[in-house]
Amino acid sequence: MKVLVIGSGIVGLSTALELALAGHSVRVITRNYEEGSSWVAGGMLAPFSEMLMGDLLDFSLLSLDLYDDYVKRLEEVSRVSLFYEGSSAILRLALTPEERESLEEYARKVEEKGFSVVRLTEAEAREAEPHLGKGVEGAYIFEQEGNVDAERLMDALLFAMENLKVKIEVDDIYKVSLKDRAVGAVVGYKKEYHADFYVLAPGAWARSLMDVPVYPNKGQILRAKGVEISRVIFSGRAYIIPKDGYLLVGATSEDAGFDTRVTLEGARTLTSGALDVVPALADAELVSIRTGFRPATPDEKPVFDLGDNYALLTGHYRNGILWAPATAKMVLDYLETSEVSPYFRVFSPSRFASE
Specify the CATH number for the domain of residue 135: 3.30.9.10
Single out the residue in 253, 276, 296 at which a domain terminates. 296
- Number of compact structural domains in the chain: 2
- If phi > 0 it is left, if psi is from -120 to 50 it is alpha, else beta; for residue 240 that is beta
**Coil, helix or strand for 350?**
helix
Confidence of residue 56 (pLDDT cuts 50, 70, 90): very high
- Residues 226 and 139 placed together within one structural domain of the fold: yes
95 in Cβ contact with 236 (< 8 Å)? yes
Average pLDDT for 255-269: 95
DSSP state of 57: H
HEC sequence for 59-81 = HHHHHHHHHHHHHHHHHHHHCCC
**Coil, helix or strand for 163?**
helix
Residue 354: the pLDDT is 64
Q: Tell me how far the alpha carbon of residue 267 is from its chain's centroid.
A: 22
Residue 163 belongs to domain with CATH number: 3.50.50.60
CB atoms within 10 A of CB 316: 29
Say which residues have a Cβ less than 8 Å from residue 170's Cβ, sequence separation at least 6: 29, 30, 31, 32, 33
CA atoms within 13 A on the CB side of 350: 8
> Cα dist. 147→32, 114, 322 in Å?
26, 22, 9
Res 355 pLDDT > 90: no
Say which residues have a Cβ less than 8 Å from residue 93's Cβ, sequence separation at least 6: 125, 132, 136, 138, 139, 233, 234, 235, 277
Least confident of 34-48, 164-178, 295-309, 327-341: 34-48
- Residues 71 and 177 placed together within one structural domain of the fold: yes
- Residues 38 and 154 placed together within one structural domain of the fold: yes
167-220: pLDDT as tens digits: 999 999 999 999 999 999 999 999 999 999 999 999 999 999 999 999 999 999
- Residues 158 and 280 placed together within one structural domain of the fold: no
- Residues 170 and 201 placed together within one structural domain of the fold: yes
- Residues 156 and 76 placed together within one structural domain of the fold: yes
- Boundaries of domain holding 181: 2-80+150-212+298-352
- Residues 197 and 303 placed together within one structural domain of the fold: yes
Residue 34: the pLDDT is 75
Residue 33: the pLDDT is 76
93-144: pLDDT as tens digits: 999 999 999 999 999 999 999 999 999 999 999 999 999 998 899 999 999 9
What's phi and psi for 49, nearest 5 deg?
A: -65, -30
Confidence of residue 39 (pLDDT cuts 50, 70, 90): confident
